[in-house]
């Protein structure tokens, strides 16, 4: 049995494979083409978003028994075919959930308190305190869409800062009872009442462009949108229009529909250029879950999940 790790990981995971006497090939810079040439050699393959897993590629990996996805994303992975092929699939959404939740809060506080603008002005010896008055969020209503690992942590942290937190999750019910100051509501109620909406849902066919012009029309005028989940969940053009015309007061975006700037088409590039110039947006390059702490946690959680499956899949002893 051999393992292949195709992305940058904390040494904890590599040490784990060594302790388990599982030969591990570490190729964090591997290209997709090179990966397709060697994937048939391995029973365990660890990937990140760089490697997609459609049915055609799964069929090429003839020895594959276990896929480990670093992080939380499931987009690009044919999980139904994996299940039908008796291939196990594990991921680590809990490992970087706290990092994402904290990052989202940081972006929000920066936006409502004009911190980006204030920082730049002070650096340029500009001292306009009156123009930089911020807004306290304690009296604002926070809406959270998706109450999984990240959404629940974000909502819980926000419940300490805001008097009212609303949550909507299409696939859950009666999940807020143990949480203080969080109310489970319908999507319509959340859109109508939330001053701030934070997205914590996976990218699927169902959620692609779920936040579009029609969605935004149903929201409270002047809403703030936070997206730290997946870029294509939000229609960038519709978001931009809402920001320009004041329907949306601001946006905090850590993820984008196109995260490879050199591949952006000319027409789309104009949308991004306009978005990047707006003063009422806070932007970061998909780093919400990218902390030193989560880097370690992801490898640790992955090793623990693999370890639980080794005996079942490969008839290994569970003792490291």
Question: Could you list the active site residues?
Answer: 230, 259, 286
Helix, strand, or coil (residue 307):
helix
Name the residue with tokens 């028994």: 65
Nearest-CA neighbor of 142 among 106, 118, 120, 167? 167
CA distance 117 to 157: 25
**Strands of 281-283's sheet in order across:** 182-184, 164-168, 141-145, 196-199, 223-227, 248-253, 281-283
CA distance 146 to 167: 7
Name the residue with tokens 């992801």: 298
With the CA atoms of 56, 57, 61 and 62 taken in that order, what torsion angle do they form, in degrees rounded to the nearest 10? 0
CA atoms within 13 A on the CB side of 275: 22
CA distance 48 to 180: 35
CA distance 109 to 136: 9
Which segments within 93-232 are labelled E, that is strand?
Answer: 141-145, 164-168, 182-184, 196-199, 223-227
């Amino acid at each position: 049995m051999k393992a292949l790790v195709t992305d940058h990981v904390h040494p904890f995971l590599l040490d784990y494979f060594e302790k388990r006497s599982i030969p591990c090939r570490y190729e964090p810079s591997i290209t997709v083409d090179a990966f397709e040439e060697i994937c048939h050699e391995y029973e365990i393959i660890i990937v990140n978003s760089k490697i997609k897993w459609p049915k055609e590629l799964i069929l090429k990996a003839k020895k594959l028994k276990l896929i480990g996805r670093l992080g939380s994303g499931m987009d690009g992975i044919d999980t139904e075919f994996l299940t039908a092929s008796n291939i196990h699939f594990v991921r680590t959404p809990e490992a970087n959930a706290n990092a994402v939740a904290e990052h989202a809060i940081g972006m929000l506080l920066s936006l409502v308190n004009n911190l980006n603008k204030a920082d730049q002005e002070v650096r340029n010896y500009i001292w306009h305190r009156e123009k930089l008055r911020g807004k306290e969020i304690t009296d604002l209503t926070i809406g959270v869409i998706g109450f999984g690992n990240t959404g629940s942590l974000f909502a819980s942290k926000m419940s300490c800062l805001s008097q009212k937190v609303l949550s909507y999750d299409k696939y859950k019910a009666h999940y807020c009872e143990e949480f203080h100051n969080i109310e489970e509501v319908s999507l319509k109620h959340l859109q109508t009442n939330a001053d701030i909406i934070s997205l914590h849902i996976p990218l699927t066919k169902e959620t692609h462009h779920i936040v579009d012009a029609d969605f935004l029309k149903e929201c409270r005028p002047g809403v703030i949108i936070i997206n730290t989940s997946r870029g294509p969940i939000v229609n960038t053009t519709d978001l931009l229009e809402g920001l320009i015309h004041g329907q949306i007061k601001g946006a905090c975006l850590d993820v984008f529909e196109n995260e490879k700037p050199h591949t952006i088409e000319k027409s789309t590039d104009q949308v991004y250029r306009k978005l990047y110039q707006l003063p009422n947006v806070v932007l970061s390059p998909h780093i919400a879950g990218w902390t030193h702490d989560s880097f370690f946690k992801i490898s640790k959680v992955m090793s623990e999940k693999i370890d639980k499956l080794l005996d079942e899949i490969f008839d290994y002893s569970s003792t490291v």
